[in-house]
Amino acid sequence: MRGATDSAGSEGTGLAVMSPPQPPVVQRAERNQTHRGLPTELLREIVLYTFGSYFPELCINPEFDMSWDPILSLLHSSNLLRSIVINILEHALGDVFIDEHTKVLQNYKPAMKELHQVAVILAKEPLDSFLSHPVFIVMTRYHVDCPVSWRARLFHIEYEPLRGDNPSHGNRRPPGWLEMTAKEIEVHPLRLKVPLYIKHGILYPIDRVSALHVSPADLATWLGRMCKAFRNFDPWIHHNSASLVTKIRPDMKITSQTLRVVCTFQVKLRNDLLLGYVLNEEGLPRLSEAQMRECGIHDALSTLRRPTGVQDNDARVAFCKQNREILLYIVAEEEPLLGLSPVEAAGVPDTSNMMYNIGLL
């Protein structure tokens, strides 16, 4: 490693519920330890919650304020807190925090800087040059057994193509060697050694913040694909020579069902974000005006208007009405950007027949 800064001190234990069984004498001694009157079990939860907020923002948010360093603050708070922090970060940061053999604490600050630099770099530069970037090379060399680093790099490799305001970026898959790297990270043996409380408290929050950051671009990608498909149906809907259409084409049925799946998925993702990360709907990420324009949603809504001069029992009428409602329901939060009149605005669509079957995608 790049050098040690101090001794590790006494080693703490894991969370109260998830930690391995200990002798009764040790358990009684730990229960008697407090910090400003707070019991050890509660302190562990507080520290874990702090790191569950810190690492996701550090690794994912390019605008994160690096002046906040809860690790240093907690290490110098008290011997008890220091012991708890060391135990948690030994599992979460691995070799960038503590030497596995000597148990000597490492200078973790360069690693934290590198974790954040990757988020900053990838917000500005194309993904194609990611693995050749000096910061990534340093992380590969020094973050050998760091679960937080592996989790963050997996996010960047899998989801960075979705960044940006242009939904067409989402159609670009990472190069083959990047996909192989992502698979190697995902099946790395290190995953098997991470305690469950570290996964739930620190690694899974990284996934939630990742979803929060990429959800607008992910939605823009799917909307772009759906809108393009509907625009292709314009001649059949509005320039059909048949006086009465009684059956919808098979390819249009598939597109309609896929839109329902996308809608169901987006509603589930939205609820997950509300429960797992943000506290109110105002905090949910939304599509920008540029993303709405690039998606072609205005043209798709125009295609899905009711055909003129057709009977009410024409199959095109129901098809357009149902899919237009669902399309507007997906972008309900961004509806003011569409400039629709109250008559055109969407009501709540009938979602009772929606199949949550990602295989259709």
Residues 6+ apart with CB under 8 A from 1: 95, 96, 99, 106, 142
Q: Does a structural domain hold residue 210?
A: no
Tell which of 186, 201, 216 closes a domain: 201
Confidence of residue 21 (pLDDT cuts 50, 70, 90): very low
Q: Does a structural domain hold residue 211?
A: no
What are 162's two structure tokens?
A: 């979705």
Q: Does a structural domain hold residue 41?
A: yes
What are 234's two structure tokens?
A: 């314009």
Q: Are residues 122 and 163 in the same domain?
A: yes
Q: Are residues 288 and 349 in the same domain?
A: yes
Q: Does a structural domain hold residue 215?
A: no
Q: Are residues 178 and 278 in the same domain?
A: no
Does 217 or 68 have the greater pLDDT score? 68
Instruction: Give the pLDDT confidence score for residue 314 in this predicted structure.
Output: 93
Percent of the chain with pLDDT over 90: 23
Instruction: Give the pLDDT confidence score for residue 283 in this predicted structure.
Output: 67
Q: Are residues 273 and 148 in the same domain?
A: no
Tell which of 181, 201, 221 closes a domain: 201
Least confident of 7-11, 142-146, 269-273: 7-11
Domain residue limits at 47: 4-201
Q: Does a structural domain hold residue 17?
A: yes
Q: Are residues 170 and 45 in the same domain?
A: yes
Q: Are residues 122 and 186 in the same domain?
A: yes
Q: Are residues 261 and 172 in the same domain?
A: no
Q: Are residues 173 and 284 in the same domain?
A: no
Instruction: Give the pLDDT confidence score for residue 262 in this predicted structure.
Output: 82
Q: What would the pLDDT profile of 183-208 be if each residue is shown by its tens digit?
A: 555 545 555 578 889 988 998 888 88
Q: Are residues 24 and 91 in the same domain?
A: yes
Q: What would the pLDDT profile of 103-160 be if each residue is shown by its tens digit?
A: 899 899 999 999 998 888 877 776 666 667 788 778 777 787 888 988 887 777 666 5
Question: Structurally, how many domains does the chain consist of?
Answer: 2
Distance between CA 68 and CA 165 in Å, rounded?
29
Whether residue 3 has pLDDT greater than 60? no
Does 345 or 105 have the greater pLDDT score? 105
Whether residue 8 has pLDDT greater than 60? no
> Residue type at 47?
V
Q: Is 5 helix (H, G, I), strand (E, B) or coil?
A: strand
Q: Does a structural domain hold residue 14?
A: yes
Q: Does a structural domain hold residue 353?
A: yes
Which DSSP string do the residues of 143-177 spell out, in sequence order? Answer: -TT-HHHHHHHHHHHHHGGG-SS-GGGGG-PPPHH
Q: How far apart are the first and last CA of the chain?
A: 45
- How far is CA 335 from each of CA 120, 131, 285, 288, rounded to the nearest angstrom? 31, 39, 14, 11
Q: Are residues 161 and 18 in the same domain?
A: yes
Q: Are residues 275 and 153 in the same domain?
A: no
Q: Does a structural domain hold residue 227?
A: no
Average pLDDT over residues 215-227: 84
Q: Are residues 127 and 48 in the same domain?
A: yes
Question: Cα-flanking dihedrals φ and ψ of residue 34, to 5°?
Answer: -140, 160
Is residue 241 within 8 Å of 305, Cβ to Cβ? no
User: How many beta carbons lie within 10 A of that of residue 70, not counting itself?
Assistant: 14
